[in-house]
Structure 1
Amino acid sequence: MPETILVSGGCGYIGSHVVRQLSEAGRKVVVYDNLSTGSRDALLHGEELIVGDLADRQTLEAAFERHRFTTVLHFAASIVAPESVSQPLKYYGNNTRNTLGLLETCTKFKVQRFIFSSTAAVYGIPDGGAASEESTLAPINPYGTSKLMSEWMLRDTSAAHGMQYVALRYFNVAGADPQARMGQRTPEATHLIKVACQAALGLRESVSIYGTDYPTPDGSGIRDYIHIEDLAAAHLCALQYLEKGGEPTAMNVGYGRGGSVREVLAIVKEVSGVDFKVVEAERRPGDPASLVAKADKIRRLTGWQPRHDDLRTIIADAWRWESKLAGR
């Protein structure tokens, strides 16, 4: 009988793509989600959806009791860095405290493998704008700190109880399923590519460039944009790595090169054929000038190979999805 994998936050943007890829690979998946930002409509695969909050230990433990999960993939989190500056306790509660409760439950039920949805925000502002796994961990906002605290708890839980884990540190996730079956549904999303596509569709009045005086070639922030399909595939690679006896570790997931805000907006305008309004605004608190991945480790340890490493492809897939979502 195949094992059942628990995916927390599996109705969200990233989680739903991972659930689909796991199911397509023949894995049995149960999703646990409170639907605060996720959507039932995003869940096209999976054996069962349990609607519950991670803080609801009774519902959570009942799910573990029934399914006896041996592997957990944990996505459920609050993810908006600027919001974390103004609402830090929300982030320490939802991200750190709820991860603590999930780890306690995993320990109680002897879970063997845990894959954690972490973030490049744990690096803060890395030297030279590029981060490797050996870079200093110095988050500059509560979002990054809440995730780093969760990584530390995961590391120490693994050492004490033998649960193997991989923490995947994402860079800027974007795009959608190339067949437009699924994509980002997050209400009031702040991701640049989604926001720009919505502006092109007339769903927003404008797009803001937050900071035009950064020490970058065009003055706007640079990010390592990674296609959602490549990011989802990294989770399956990480799972196979652990199943083969891989050691607990953290791995960056990115392409190793960045695109600027101005570059992204120019491509969205080109792909959509719409010249939407762009507003230049002040820098946001907690935003580094440049954040790009050094991601050799995941390739070396798991064999992960990106298949959609092209900014125009990422934006074209996002545009196709956003157009479908808007009924165009």
Structure 2
Amino acid sequence: MILVTGGLGFIGTHTARALLDLGESCVLLQRRAVTALPATLAAEHGTRLFTEQADLADREQVRAVGDRHRITGVVHLAGSVPWPPAPGHPVDAARAALDSLFTVVQAAAEWKAARVVVASTIGVYAGAGAGAETGHGDVDPGAAAPLGEDLPLPMTSGHVIPAFKKIGELLTDHLAAATGVDLVNARISAAWGPLGRPASVFFAAPQLVHAAARGTAPDLSALYAPAHADQGIDLIYAKDCGRALALLQQAPRLNHRTYNVASGRVTTNAEVVAALSALAPGSPIDLPPGRAPQAPADICLDITRLRQDTGYTPEYDTARAVADYLGWLRAGNAR
């Protein structure tokens, strides 16, 4: 039985669905009280799917979950980052964030869980692409050459999320050797789709689809950089992301400590708009051509390791992803 922390969150829900589809049973752990299950999971509740409420800051609460269920593996998607900022001293917030990772690893060792997959982020690559070697030894001129897991990363970070994910990756490397638990880092690219945030500050795709579903112009004011047609990022559809994480958890053998979980290609805003135009003709979406001067370089991730060790292949190209997401929203789902 696989424990999924943050199991009723965006990626957690899709990961649980994928694990169930692979024949596994799951325990979904949430800090807040579980009031309702998504329709995609409700049918298996009480048979192959169970929910638990526990705070990762409370080791005894987490240990008690293992008393009620035989945990054989963990997918750790909950926090471990002091974001968004909470009241109180920032040192206390940082301590609590890291302690949640320690709690999960310690519990997994006590349960003799075979593997813990820990969520990291594409954000760890920020500043590492231009002029650096990619995973295959090529030189990246700053465009969209796929970035491999062995690419040296800068020790600095412009945001607290990738900063703490880098710290987490270093800790998992140490703790894997110290505890004997197979700890695996999953560097997740820009995930989007059903149950995700309606608006992202990093990329425009969710706003574009939600606007098309409403028949309104998209509000892109929250983005860190203005959205132009030719800008893009490695988008991974939520269902592909959940399946990739499930495959990492279930693979009989993994040959690496870190894996990119991504589509392996850049999807531009223009591609998303083109797919929406075919499905929602007349949608008032009009992006400026080219690229914004302050836009960062497009990033895509090399998924060779993931393919080789798990058999993963993305199932959702841009057109299929947009159609699925738009259909989900048009069916009355809020996000």
**TM-score category of the 2 structures, normalised to the smaller one:** 0.7 to 0.9
Q: Are residue 320 (structure 1) and residue 327 (structure 2) matched?
A: yes
Check conservation: 1:12, 1:37, Cα contact below 8 A: no
Within the candidate set 241, 258, 261, 2:269 is matched to 261
Within the candidate set 54, 65, 68, 2:67 is matched to 65
Within the candidate set 293, 302, 318, 2:301 is matched to 293
CA shift, 1:210, in A, is 4.9
Check conservation: 2:80, 2:101, Cα contact below 8 A: no
Q: Are residue 211 (structure 1) and residue 245 (structure 2) matched?
A: no
Looking at structure 1, the residues matched to 310 and 26 of structure 2 have their Cα atoms a distance apart, in angstroms, of 22
Q: Which amino acid aligns with 2:303?
A: A
Within the candidate set 170, 194, 213, 1:201 is matched to 213
Q: Are residue 117 (structure 1) and residue 119 (structure 2) matched?
A: yes
Within the candidate set 29, 44, 66, 2:26 is matched to 29
Structure-2 change in CA distance of 1:296 and 1:39 (3 Å): farther
If the length of structure 1 is used for normalisation, what is the TM-score?
0.79
Looking at structure 2, the residues matched to 131 and 91 of structure 1 have their Cα atoms a distance apart, in angstroms, of 31
Looking at structure 1, the residues matched to 285 and 22 of structure 2 have their Cα atoms a distance apart, in angstroms, of 43
> Which position in structure 2 is the counterpart of 1:53?
55
Task: Name the structure where helix makes up a greater proportion of residues.
Answer: 1
Identity of aligned residues (%): 24
Aligned residues: 305
Looking at structure 1, the residues matched to 195 and 219 of structure 2 have their Cα atoms a distance apart, in angstroms, of 18
CA shift, 1:120, in A, is 1.1
Looking at structure 1, the residues matched to 271 and 89 of structure 2 have their Cα atoms a distance apart, in angstroms, of 31
Structure-2 change in CA distance of 1:38 and 1:146 (3 Å): farther
Gaps of at least 5 residues in structure 2 are: 131-141
Check conservation: 2:245, 2:261, Cα contact below 8 A: no
Check conservation: 1:11, 1:35, Cα contact below 8 A: no
> Which position in structure 2 is the counterpart of 1:151?
169
Looking at structure 2, the residues matched to 261 and 93 of structure 1 have their Cα atoms a distance apart, in angstroms, of 38
Deviations 1:118-173 (A, max 9, x none): 21111113222441111122343211111121122111111001101321211122
Structure-2 change in CA distance of 1:226 and 1:187 (3 Å): closer
Structure-2 change in CA distance of 1:193 and 1:79 (3 Å): farther
CA shift, 1:247, in A, is 3.9
Moved more, 228-237 or 119-128: 228-237
Looking at structure 1, the residues matched to 325 and 34 of structure 2 have their Cα atoms a distance apart, in angstroms, of 19
> 1:180-199 residue pairs with structure 2 within 5 A?
183-184=194-195, 186=197, 192-199=204-211
Looking at structure 2, the residues matched to 294 and 36 of structure 1 have their Cα atoms a distance apart, in angstroms, of 38
Looking at structure 2, the residues matched to 163 and 289 of structure 1 have their Cα atoms a distance apart, in angstroms, of 36
Check conservation: 1:8, 1:76, Cα contact below 8 A: yes
Task: Name the structure where strand makes up a greater proportion of residues.
Answer: 1
Structure-2 change in CA distance of 1:187 and 1:56 (3 Å): farther
CA shift, 1:311, in A, is 0.9
Q: Which amino acid aligns with 2:15?
A: V
Q: Which amino acid aligns with 2:218?
A: S
Deviations 1:85-128 (A, max 9, x none): xx995984675442222223223433321111221111113222
Structure-2 change in CA distance of 1:194 and 1:78 (3 Å): farther
> 1:87-106 residue pairs with structure 2 within 5 A?
89=90, 92=94, 95-106=97-108
Check conservation: 2:229, 2:269, Cα contact below 8 A: no
Moved more, 290-299 or 259-268: 259-268
Deviations 1:49-104 (A, max 9, x none): 112322233321210222241211111138999x68xx995984675442222223
Q: Are residue 169 (structure 1) and residue 187 (structure 2) matched?
A: yes
Looking at structure 2, the residues matched to 206 and 37 of structure 1 have their Cα atoms a distance apart, in angstroms, of 32
Looking at structure 2, the residues matched to 253 and 263 of structure 1 have their Cα atoms a distance apart, in angstroms, of 21
